[in-house]
Amino acid sequence: MEDEYLDFIDQRDRDTKKVVSARVSEDVLNALNMAEEDSSSFGYSFSITSIIEKALNNTLKSVEGNSGINYYKLVKWQKKIKEAYRNFLFCIDFRNYTEEVANVMIIPNANPSPSYDLKKIPKYSANDTVKVVNKEYDVLPSQILKKLRQGKVDVQASLDLHGNSIEDITTYLTEFIHTHSEHRFIRIIHGKGSKDDEYSPIKSLVIQYLKDHFQVLAFCSCPQESGGTGAVNVYIQSNPYFDRLNSRRDLLNEIDYVTGVIDNFDSYLQNREKNIVKQWNQALISQNSTYCVEIKGDRILFNHSRNTHPEDSTDE
């Protein structure tokens, strides 16, 4: 029996809408506006917006017919994988940095959670202002550095270290930076320490850690209204694995663009997803983690052996 009485909602109808601008012939637009105003007189209706949306969807269908690649499905799948990767990072123990973990972060020679001897690092007082640009990056956009110094940057995440023991600081910093690796600007609130003691051990430790971290490009003390010398705004580069997930070429790395059409694009995405999840599970196993990753239908589940806080990532 046909579903002649049912109206089915296309996923595209639920997607977040974005304004698209383009330069179009003024005469063509005037003609369409005129035709739209008169359309009801002829028993039909249309809008320029619906024409554009239909044209874009039809173009995607034509592209799929010629290449075998459903780019709409690819974008939805990519969003799901990136969200799952964010959840995966919360399962990683950065104090136990194995080769398998390095493979899923593409950071082979890093020491994400180093230990420091407070007697051997520079000491900073509560009121010291810091401005540091990582020496490994000689050329950074001057406009960004200027905004960073002025505190006129879009800080997308903050970590407040008040109340934490000195032994846990580097671990919290590591987890925070890696789980917010898609952000460009973050804020670390380290506090000023005791009013009776000029030396602030937590502040000194935070500054040394940020100087050494391979993802930190620059950082400086915040304006007074954002924490002053008790906090720093940090400019970071993304985790290379996020860059890979954002790369069309990396996601389609098994596709031969020369020979053309893919036989089954859905199967291709399913196999890519299985391989990614397998690699994540290998990383978790290498740490004797209590977490495991499972594909269940369209969802990627993060299951805890004690079921303390299972998480899942679903396609939007």
Alpha helices in the chain (DSSP H): 11-14, 26-38, 48-67, 71-91, 99-103, 142-150, 169-179, 201-212, 240-246, 248-251, 265-286
Determine the Cα–Cα distance for residues 32 and 13; give it in Å rounded to an integer: 24
CATH of domain 116-238: 3.30.1370.110
Contact 183, 236 (CB under 8 A): yes
Q: How does DSSP classify residue 167?
A: G
- pLDDT tens for residues 60-79? 999 888 888 889 999 999 99
pLDDT at residue 94 is higher than 90: no
CATH 3.30.1370.110 domain extents, the chain: 116-238
Determine the Cα–Cα distance for residues 174 and 296; give it in Å rounded to an integer: 30
- pLDDT tens for residues 159-208? 999 888 888 898 889 889 888 888 889 999 998 766 556 788 999 999 99
Q: How does DSSP classify residue 166?
A: G
